[in-house]
Amino acid sequence: MEILKLLNIQYKYPESLNNCLNNITFTVCNGETVGLIGPNGAGKTTLLKIICGLINEFSGDILIYGKQIQKYSNIDLAKLISYIPQMDNYVFDFTVEEIVAMGRRPYINSMGILKSHDKKIIKKVIDMLGLDKIVKKRFLNLSGGERRLTLIARALAQETEIILMDEPTSNLDLNHKIIFMNKIIELKKTGKTIILISHDINLVSEYLNRIIFIKEGKVIKDGPVNNVLNEESLREVFEIKNFFVCENKITKKPNVFFIPEKEV
């Protein structure tokens, strides 16, 4: 079932001459996991911000379940979409538990008093992500991986069907990247729709089921991983040479390999 539909999204930053986004159109169905891939400055973050209602001055339509996002109240929108930004420049040192509880905001009042139902959900989310040992720890004392998982937990506590993530795996070591991507697969099984920006092309290929390539504010390629991740599209999007795409024999997914210039 179609959950999110973007129609001819155009956006220009007030101080810039060129469009940041140009005629972006695509549809996402329930339970899809989508990787947004493209060069730096292609407009990926801007696109996520537009989808979750942080930027309003765009033209085109964004429909969630067929209804324009402008027609949702901010509380109702918060029950449908959660967003995990790229950086966490937190200054104040809340505990993991406190941060996860903030995800319940759309369901409770400004004072933030949790009911037993809210506490149950928070506990479930914390257990699912394996954060139970660090719930009382302060955020700024956590490792990069633990911080990411905490922010995911907060987005899950928000119980939204769509989760947007901006480069969730940057700054993570290999082990935490894999732990993280496996959680994405678990989330997919629970029916969540996930759109994430990533520069880890091979991780996207192995763990997600759809890729949208974006360059200079336009959708270049869009489709299932096996159909669109190939040498031709990488050349077009990133303008790179000296690489090849090969199938992972076990998963049958395309992977990218690089060759230093001297070896060519």
Partner 1 sequence: MKRNIFIIILLILLFVVIVISLISGSVKTSLNELFSIFFNIKKEETDSGLIIFKIRLPRIFLAILIGGTLAVTGAMLQAIFKNPLVDPFITGVSSGAAFGATIAIIFKFYSITLFAIFGAVFTILFVYRLSVKNNNLNLYNLLLIGVMTGSFLSSLIMFLSAFFNRDMVKVIFWLMGDLSITDIFLLKISYIISLIIIIFCIYFSNDLNILSLDEDEAKVSGVKTEFIKTFYFISSGILTGLSVSLSGVIGFVGLVVPHIVRFFIGPDLRMLIPFSFLTGSIFLLICDTIARVAFAPAEIPVGIITGLFGAPVFVALLITRK
Task: Enumerate binding residues for partner 1 (CB under 8 A).
Answer: 49, 52-54, 74-75, 77-79, 81-85, 88-95, 98-99, 102-103, 105-106, 110-112, 138, 158
Those residues whose C-beta lies under 8 Å from the C-beta of residue 146, and which sit 6 or more positions away, are 96, 131, 134, 137
Least Cβ distance, residue 90 to partner 1 (angstroms):
5
Residues 31 and 26: their CA atoms lie apart, in Å, by 15
| Six-digit token string for 180 | 């993280």
Query: Contact at 8 Å (CB) between 147 and 158?
Result: no
Cβ(77)–Cβ(162) below 8 Å: no
CB of 137 to partner 1, least distance (A): 12
| Backbone CA torsion sign across 228, 229, 232, 233 | positive
CB of 190 to partner 1, least distance (A): 20
Compare residues 87 and 174 and give the one whose CB is closer to partner 1. 87
DSSP conformational letter for 21: E
CB of 169 to partner 1, least distance (A): 19
Q: Which is nearer to partner 1, 96 or 204 (CB)?
A: 96
Residue closer to partner 1, measured from CB, 40 or 74:
74
Nearer to partner 1, 43 or 254 (CB): 43
